[in-house]
C-alpha cells in the first residue's frame, strides 16, 4: 500500500478531486461548513442517509457507498457517542468501522483503487488524529490477506487495499502530526499481520527451522536487527533441561532464537526483554490431547511470532530503545524418546521440575527462556507472551488476555494502554499459590491440574525471573478466531494478540523519556 498526507487546501481543485476512485469522508455535523469551503456540497446526501437510517455521524458507523457527481463516497462517523465515557471505547468503535469499511471496499472494487481520505476539520488534535489512525488500523487489520494454499486461489492478489494508492487530506497545520501517527500505525499493523501470517501457516511448513530461516531472511531487510539462532546442542551446553525435555519427542530440530535491536541513542541502558512461546504444533505429547480442535494447535507459536514481529516493528520505526526478543521453538509430540509424566528435569537456573502433564509444555520452554534472560541479558524488565492455558479462556473468554505481574508500575502501564489497544485483565500472583506446585520429588511440579490453572502456570514462571520487573501475558483466549465485536476488524484465524499493545507500550516509553 502506498500513501501520502497532504493539505485539504488542494481539495478546492475539482480536477484533484476527480483523480480518485472513491472518497472516504470522516464526518460529524460540525464539519458541514468546512466541506462547503472546499466546494463540496454534501448536505443533501448526508440528510438523505440520516433520514433513511443508513448513517449517523457517530464513531463506529459507516454509510453505504453513494455516488455524488459520478464519484463514489463513503461517510465514516467521527463523533464520540454520548454513552461512551472513555476514549478507549471510542477507539475500538473506530477500529470496528475500519473493518466494516474494508469489507465495503473489497465488495466494491476488484482491482486496487485510488482512495482519498478526507478529514475536513480537526477540533481536538490529540483525540481526533488518534481516531483517524485507529480507523486506518481497523481497515488494514481486516484487509489482511493470508498466503493462499488453495490451488484455485494461487493467482489471487488478496484484498484490493493491499496494493491501493491512498491520499489523506487533512487541515494544513496537522499534516506532520498525522504523518507521524499514520507511520506508526501502518508499520505496527504491517508487523501484526506478519505475525498472523506466520501463525496461520500449517505446521508442516512453519517448523522451527522454517521460522528461524524466515527471521534470518527478514533481518536482511532490517540490518539493525541482529539474529542469533541456537541449536539443541548449544542449548544443551547452556543447561536448558526444561526446554530440551519438550524437544525430545519430535523429529523436527528445535531452535532457540535471540533477536536484538539497539538504537545508538537508546533510552534504556539495560534491555527490555520480550519472550515468546513457540510451540509450532502441540499434540500434548504423551499426555495426548483429544482430537477435537487439535488443528488449532498450529497457533501455539503465536507468542513467538508476536515477539519476533515486535522486534522488527520497533527497528523499522527506529525507536530510540534497546530491546531483545527470545523465542524458543519446538513441536510437542509423543514418541519413544518423548518426556513423560513423572520425569524430573533441571532448568538453566538449576531448579527442578516434575512433569505431571506433558501437555503443560509451554511453561517448560518459557522457564528456560526466562532464566536465560536473567542470567545472560541483565534485563531492565521482562515481558513474556504465550498461548499458555485453557483456563484463561474459561476465565476471560476471547475478550481479554490474562495479565500477571510482580511489578505494580509495569502492570499499571500495560493495563492502561490495554484499554486503548487490546484488552488485558489482571489476575493474582500471590505466594499462596505455590502450595499447588509442591511435590515430594522436585522443586516444583509443572501443573496442578485445572485448579486456578492460569494462576499456577504464571506462578511457576515467576520462579524463573528472580526479582526482575516482569509481566506474563496469557493470550490463549485472544490468539485466534476472535468473537464479536473484534471479529469485525480481525476476521478469522490468528490475531497477532498483544503485538499492538506492546508496540504502543514501547512507543510511549520512548515518548516519556524524550
Distance CA 382, CA 120 (A): 43
Per-residue cell: 269: 541502558
Q: Which residues of 193-222 are buried (b: 16+ CB within 10 A; e: fewer)?
A: bbbbbbbbbebeebbbebbbebbeebbeee
| Portion of the chain with pLDDT greater than 70, in percent | 97
CATH architecture for segment(s) 209-512:
3-Layer(aba) Sandwich (3.40)
Q: Grid coordinates standing for 121?
A: 476539520
Peptide bond into 485 cis (omega under 30): yes
In tens, the pLDDT along 157-197 reads 567 777 788 999 999 999 999 999 999 999 999 999 999 99
Q: What is the pLDDT of residue 82?
A: 65
Which residues of the chain fall below pLDDT 50? none
How long a stretch of residues is the chain?
A: 514
Beta partners for residue 332, in sequence order: 282
171 touches 125 (CB < 8 A): no
DSSP string, 14-51: HHHHTT-SEEEEEE-GGGHHHHHHTT---HHHHHHHHH
CATH of domain 2-174: 3.40.220.10
Q: Residue 433: helix, strand or coil by DSSP?
A: helix
Angle at 178 between CA 513 and CA 141, to 5 degrees: 95
For residues 137 and 95, is the Cβ–Cβ distance under 8 A?
Answer: yes
Question: What does the block give as the cell for 444?
Answer: 516444583
Name the burial class of residue 156, with classes exposed (0-12), middle (13-18) and buried (19+) by CB atoms within 10 angstroms of its CB.
exposed
Phi/psi at 147 (nearest 5 deg)?
-65, 125
Sequence ranges of the chain with CATH classification 3.40.630.10: 209-512
Task: Name the residue with cell 501437555.
Answer: 359
Residues 6+ apart with CB under 8 A from 482: 398, 490, 495
**What is the pLDDT at residue 53?**
87
**Which residues belong to the active site?**
289, 363
**Residue ranges of the chain that CATH labels 3.40.220.10:** 2-174
From 234, 314, 244, select the one nearest 274 (Cα to Cα): 314
HSE (side-chain half, CA atoms, 13 Å) at 177 = 15
What was the pLDDT predicted at 159?
76
Give CA separation, 298 vs 144, 212, 366, in Å: 19, 16, 18
Bin 450: left if φ > 0, else alpha if -120 < ψ < 50, else beta. Answer: alpha
pLDDT value, residue 162: 76
| Residue whose cell numbers read 518426556 | 339
The confidence score (pLDDT) of residue 54 equals 85
Longest dimension (CA), the chain: 80
CA dist 328 and 369 (Å) reads 7
Q: Cα(281)–Cα(296) distance, rounded to whole angstroms?
A: 9
Radius of gyration over every alpha carbon of the chain, rounded to an integer in angstroms: 24
Amino acid at each position: 500500500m502506498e500513501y501520502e498526507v497532504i493539505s485539504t487546501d488542494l481539495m478546492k481543485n475539482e480536477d484533484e478531486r476527480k483523480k480518485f476512485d472513491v472518497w472516504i469522508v470522516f464526518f460529524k455535523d460540525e464539519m458541514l461548513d468546512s466541506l462547503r469551503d472546499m466546494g463540496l456540497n454534501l448536505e443533501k446526501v448526508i440528510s438523505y442517509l440520516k433520514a433513511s437510517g443508513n448513517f449517523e455521524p457517530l464513531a463506529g458507523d459507516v454509510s453505504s457507498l453513494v455516488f455524488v457527481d459520478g464519484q463514489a463516497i463513503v461517510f465514516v462517523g467521527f463523533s464520540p457517542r454520548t454513552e461512551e465515557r472513555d476514549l478507549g471505547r471510542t477507539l475500538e468503535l473506530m477500529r470496528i468501522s475500519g473493518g466494516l469499511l474494508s469489507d465495503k471496499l473489497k465488495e466494491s472494487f476488484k482491482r486496487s483503487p485510488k482512495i482519498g481520505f478526507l478529514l475536513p476539520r480537526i477540533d481536538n488534535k490529540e483525540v481526533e488524529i488518534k481516531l483517524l489512525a485507529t480507523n486506518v488500523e481497523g481497515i488494514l487489520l481486516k484487509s489482511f490477506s493470508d498466503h493462499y494454499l488453495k490451488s484455485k486461489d494461487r493467482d489471487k492478489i488478496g484484498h484490493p487495499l493491499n496494493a491501493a494508492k491512498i491520499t489523506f487530506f487533512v487541515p494544513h497545520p496537522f499534516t506532520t502530526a498525522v504523518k507521524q501517527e499514520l507511520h506508526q500505525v501502518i508499520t505496527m499493523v504491517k508487523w501484526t499481520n506478519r505475525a498472523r501470517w506466520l501463525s496461520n501457516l500449517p505446521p508442516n511448513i512453519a517448523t522451527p527451522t522454517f521460522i528461524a530461516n524466515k527471521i534470518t531472511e527478514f533481518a536482511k531487510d532490517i540490518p539493525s536487527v541482529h539474529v542469533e539462532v541456537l541449536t539443541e546442542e548449544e542449548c544443551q551446553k547452556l543447561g536448558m533441561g526444561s526446554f530440551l525435555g519438550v524437544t525430545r519427542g519430535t523429529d523436527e530440530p528445535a531452535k532457540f532464537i535471540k533477536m536484538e535491536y539497539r538504537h545508538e541513542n537508546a533510552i534504556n541502558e539495560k534491555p527490555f526483554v520480550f519472550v515468546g512461546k513457540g510451540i509450532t504444533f502441540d499434540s500434548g505429547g504423551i499426555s495426548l490431547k483429544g482430537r477435537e480442535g487439535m488443528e488449532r494447535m498450529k497457533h501455539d507459536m503465536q507468542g513467538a511470532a508476536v515477539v519476533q514481529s515486535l522486534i522488527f516493528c520497533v527497528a523499522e520505526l527506529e525507536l530510540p530503545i534497546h530491546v531483545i526478543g527470545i523465542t524458543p521453538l519446538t513441536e510437542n509430540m509423543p514418541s519413544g524418546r518423548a518426556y513423560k509424566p513423572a520425569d524430573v528435569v533441571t532448568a538453566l537456573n538449576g531448579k527442578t521440575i516434575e512433569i505431571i502433564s506433558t501437555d503443560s509444555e509451554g511453561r517448560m520452554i518459557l522457564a528456560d527462556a526466562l532464566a536465560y534472560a536473567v542470567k545472560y541479558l541483565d534485563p531492565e524488565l521482562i515481558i513474556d507472551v504465550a498461548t499458555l492455558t485453557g483456563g484463561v479462556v474459561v476465565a476471560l473468554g476471547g475478550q481479554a488476555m490474562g495479565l500477571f505481574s510482580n511489578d505494580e508500575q509495569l502492570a499499571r502501564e500495560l493495563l492502561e494502554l490495554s484499554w486503548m489497544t487490546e484488552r488485558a485483565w489482571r489476575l493474582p500472583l500471590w505466594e499462596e499459590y505455590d502450595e499447588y506446585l509442591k511435590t515430594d520429588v522436585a522443586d516444583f511440579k509443572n501443573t496442578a491440574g485445572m485448579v486456578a490453572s492460569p494462576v499456577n502456570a504464571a506462578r511457576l514462571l515467576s520462579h524463573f525471573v528472580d526479582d526482575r520487573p516482569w509481566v506474563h501475558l496469557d493470550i490463549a483466549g485472544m490468539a485466534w478466531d476472535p468473537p464479536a465485536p473484534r471479529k469485525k476488524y480481525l476476521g478469522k484465524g490468528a490475531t497477532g494478540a498483544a503485538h499492538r499493545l506492546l508496540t504502543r507500550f514501547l512507543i510511549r516509553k520512548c515518548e516519556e523519556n524524550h
